[in-house]
Amino acid sequence: MNKYLEQLVNLSQIDKKIDSYAPRIEGINGELNEKKDEIRSIDEQVETIENEIEELKTQISNTNAHIVEFNNKIKDASKKSGAVKTEKEIKALNLEEDLAKDQLEAANEEISRLERIIDVKHTSEAELKEKKLEIEASLKELENRVSSELEEIEKDRSKVYAQKDSLLGEMNQKVLTFYEKIRKWAKNTAVVPVRKQACYGCFMKINDKTYSNVIKSEDIVTCPHCGRILYKETNEE
Ligand SMILES: [Zn+2]
């Protein structure tokens, strides 16, 4: 094979490899971020629940203050009962006492209701915290797994970069510029094999003359349809 063509085939394979690392790293980080987001969302939910519980506790203590008030009213009424004389006064006092008793009962019921709500909230809070622990454990597991994967990718990547550097050092500038020009639009398919007499970039059949030139591999041959650089694979898959 023509030396320049051989270098181009190598370079295109190296470039393809280099471009493959970013999505792999992105995919790994995406997985990690997904778990971290889940944990953050649980933290927010727990905080909301805790605020709601605080609010309910305030309501309970307010209601307790009312209970003290109603109890005092009932006590006052029974104190006054010795002093009242007329039927009318007794009736009024009884009415006052009954009202206070009703309010007391309602306040006690309200407290039980609020306490039940707090119980439910505590249960969901506990469930969320348990779920958070599970996600944290799987995040840790994932971090351990991917850290070696990332290390492997980094090692591989620096090796490939070194390969590219030394290859670029050997290459002819004109050939390189030609390649970069095609690569601008063809990305990682700037240099493609010919299989079954077809360009593997645009998948069009190439004519016999071009095909025989590709097989001879004496020159850099481009696809007459798309302009990609063509080569004949040494061992066709
Ligand atoms: Zn083509």
Domains in the chain, please, with CATH?
3-7+17-171 (1.10.287.1490), 176-231 (no CATH)
Q: For residue 182, what are the contacts with CB-CB under 8 A and spacing of at least 6?
A: 190, 222, 227, 228, 229
pLDDT at 18 over 80: yes
Q: List strands edge to edge, sheet with 221-222.
A: 198-199, 191-195, 229-231, 221-222
Among residues of the chain, what percentage have pLDDT more than 70?
A: 99
Please tell me the predicted confidence (pLDDT) of residue 235: 67
- The rounded Å distance from CA 208 to ligand 1 centre is 14
CB 16 within 8 Å of CB 191 = no
- The rounded Å distance from CA 29 to ligand 1 centre is 36
Query: With bands split at pLDDT 50, 70 and 90, how would you rate the model's confidence at 78?
Result: confident
- The rounded Å distance from CA 193 to ligand 1 centre is 10
- Does residue 221 come out as left (phi exceeding 0), alpha (psi in the -120 to 50 range) or beta? beta
Which residues neighbour ligand 1 (ion) by CB within 5 Å?
199, 201-202, 223, 225-226, 228
**Start-to-end C-alpha separation, the chain:** 18
- The rounded Å distance from CA 186 to ligand 1 centre is 10
* 205: DSSP letter: B
Q: Please provide residue 236's backbone torsions phi and psi, each rounded to the nearest 5 degrees.
A: -65, 130
- The rounded Å distance from CA 1 to ligand 1 centre is 20
Average of pLDDT values for 52-65? 97
